[in-house]
């Protein structure tokens, strides 16, 4: 069953099953973390909240070199773990990564416009996007080049998970944030 916004309304049993599946996915992704990389993941409480409020698929983990300081002109690695709890495959998925303080903005339109234009804006994968089977997960990887002219401070990286519609308005699905430091 779906609510007024078109989101599926999950039962308590379905939520419990997704929490278990996502925790297994997170454990698999955690094993791939290399020495010196950071890892964040949703908690069981986060999963339940996300299933109640976001469109699916959803972001379930983030990893990368972003907690190891880099220098101007360096590179930050960022990986985003995505999970599809839906009973059908999801198509035309893209993750967009950029630097700016937009994460705290609840309005999607301005969240996406809050950009530090000195940094690149990156999108994965290539056309026609990611197809994710029902109950499946994947990781998309980004290399974010740090401009050589930026100040030595901490920066906010953002990730937006979207589902495109080639002939109509696409759909915002979820977001993540990571902090990296330039020294």
**Residue-level pLDDT, tens digit, the chain, 183 residues:** 444 445 567 888 988 999 999 999 999 888 888 888 889 999 999 998 888 876 689 999 999 887 789 999 999 999 999 999 988 999 999 999 999 999 999 999 899 999 999 999 999 999 999 999 999 999 999 999 999 999 999 999 999 999 999 999 999 999 999 999 999
Spatial CA neighbour of 57 closest among 65, 66, 47, 67: 47
Fold entry, domain 12-181: Coagulation Factor XIII; Chain A, domain 1 (2.70.50)
pTM of the model: 0.90
pLDDT at 2: 47
Tokens matching residue 176 = 């993540």
Strands (E), 32-153: 38-41, 58-64, 75-83, 90-99, 122-124, 130-132, 137-145
**C-alpha–C-alpha distance, residues 54 and 170, integer Å:** 15
Q: Kindly provide the b/e burial profile for residues 106-116, where b requires at least 16 CB atoms within 10 angstroms of the residue's own CB.
A: eeeeebbebeb
pLDDT at 4: 45
pLDDT at 8: 67
């Amino acid at each position: 069953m779906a609510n007024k916004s078109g989101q599926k309304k999950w039962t308590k049993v379905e939520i419990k099953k997704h929490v278990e599946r996502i925790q297994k996915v997170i454990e698999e992704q955690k094993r791939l973390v290399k020495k010196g990389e950071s890892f964040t993941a949703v908690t069981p409480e986060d999963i339940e909240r996300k299933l109640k409020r976001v469109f699916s698929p959803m972001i379930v983990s983030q990893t990368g070199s972003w907690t190891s300081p880099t220098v101007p002109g360096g590179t930050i690695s960022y990986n985003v773990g995505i999970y599809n709890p839906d009973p059908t495959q999801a198509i035309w998925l893209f993750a967009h990564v950029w630097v700016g303080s937009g994460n705290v903005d609840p309005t999607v339109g301005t969240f996406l416009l809050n950009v530090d234009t000195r940094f690149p804006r990156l999108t994965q994968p290539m056309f026609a996007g990611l197809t994710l089977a029902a109950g499946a997960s994947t990781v998309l990887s980004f290399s974010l080049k740090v401009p050589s002219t930026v100040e030595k401070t901490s920066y906010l990286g953002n990730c937006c998970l979207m589902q495109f519609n080639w002939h109509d308005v696409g759909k915002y699905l979820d977001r993540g944030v990571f902090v990296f430091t330039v020294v």
